[in-house]
Amino acid sequence: MKLSEKALEALAKHKYSGVDDSILAKLILSKYWNYCLKFVPITIAPNLITLTGTLCLVFTFITVGLYSPELEGTLPSWLYILCGLSLFFYQTMDNLDGKQARRTGTSSPLGQLFDHGCDSIVCTIQSLIVSSVGNYGIGYLTLIQLFTTALLPFWMATWEEYHTGTLYLGPINGPDEGIVIIVIILLTTGFIGPSFWTSKPIQVYGLSKYVPYQLSNLKLNELIVLSLSLPTVITIFANIRNVVQHLKRNNKPILPALKHILVWIIITGCTFVWYFCSTELYAEDSIWFSYVRIIQLSIGIIFGQLVSRLILAHMCHEKYNVLQTPLIPLIFATFVSFIQWYNQSEYVSEYFVLIMFVTLSFMHYFIFAKATIDQLCSFLKINCFTIPKQGEKTN
């Protein structure tokens, strides 16, 4: 993805605008982050802080995968605690990078892109970690959690920023309160064990007669995913309301803005169709049962690039097309799986489709990331992971 000279000039003038009204951040977390910043050497580049936090979570993701390849089973107690601590460390690093950038006078559009690009991939990584901790298994539950409570809110927040120019986080939001709640749950699991995740609380507490039969049989992990859908829906309506109000104030059309939501609909729809067709045709031999983690991670990589492209379009003041090249591997895999399910016959090996999908997803992302970072570094005359030796600057 090569940016034009006009796009680069617009990007160079871009100034990040963000509002975090988090109650927890204002009362506690901001003081903790400011304290931690004192221990960060002035020579450390902000993007290196971002990368450190991300790699820590990647390490945890790989470790959990070794013990829970199918997103279920009991993990060692220390691993639950590691999951909680690594997520809290990631949140800390994710907030220190911006403070370090202002502290050293190295804030740049590249830093915003790098930060949010890492965040978008971490959404999938953390969702899969929670799926293993909560014994979600290889069914629909982990997919519902990924797309409704992780990817959808992230996409809508970025979409709102694209149209309004400001990234707004409410009084109770995912990056602040949400992460702290997950950290507490992960640590609690480490100390008391994971059995409560698969318990049926409605039956345990004798509430079956007050709720429909279908709800009374739900496990706690299913109830959690279901309950998280409500605040997600509220947040989505707030995102749409903010964008619509902004566009009306500026006498801009609303429909062209709403079409960008189709990107999330396409990636979600393709994923569920692929999962259904594959599992219906191959049953327990489906790649969705044997390689669920790598498939979902690859989808997360595709999502990460789509988000990064949207952020880049916002900073460069360019239009964002609904159909993007990162979607091609997913659309192709879905199409092949659908044709084979429809005809109840295998024309192309599922494993070949898997290898092609994973390879193309990762290769395309890394080519995009490297090309974009190189181009921005060259134009802005900065380095991605180092900063010039200089004295400390005030905000």
| Nearest Cα to Cα of residue 44 among 86, 106, 133 | 106
For the chain, 395 residues long, give each residue's pLDDT as a single digit of tens.
Answer: 688 899 999 999 999 998 999 999 999 999 999 999 999 999 999 999 999 999 999 999 999 999 999 999 999 999 999 999 999 999 999 999 999 999 998 899 999 999 999 999 999 999 999 999 999 999 899 999 999 999 999 999 999 999 999 999 889 888 999 999 999 999 999 999 999 999 988 777 667 667 777 677 889 999 999 888 888 888 999 999 999 999 999 999 999 999 999 999 999 999 999 999 999 999 999 999 999 999 999 999 999 999 999 999 999 999 999 999 999 999 999 999 999 999 999 999 999 999 999 999 999 999 999 999 999 999 999 999 998 775 444 33
Which residue in this structure is represented by tokens 């901790």? 133
Q: Is 116 a catalytic residue?
A: yes
Position 211 scores a pLDDT of 73
Task: Note the pTM of the prediction, 2 decimals.
Answer: 0.93
- Amino acid symbol at 257: A
Structure-block tokens of residue 35: 């304290």
Position 217 scores a pLDDT of 82
8: Cβ contacts below 8 Å, ≥ 6 apart: 316, 375, 376, 379
Pairwise CA distance, residues 26 & 37, whole Å: 16
Structure-block tokens of residue 60: 């945890």
Pairwise CA distance, residues 344 & 357, whole Å: 21
Catalytic residue among 116, 163, 260, 314: 116
190: Cβ contacts below 8 Å, ≥ 6 apart: 77, 78, 79, 80, 81, 83, 84
Position 201 scores a pLDDT of 84
Which residue in this structure is represented by tokens 């309160």? 177
Domains and CATH numbers, the chain: 5-380 (1.20.120.1760)
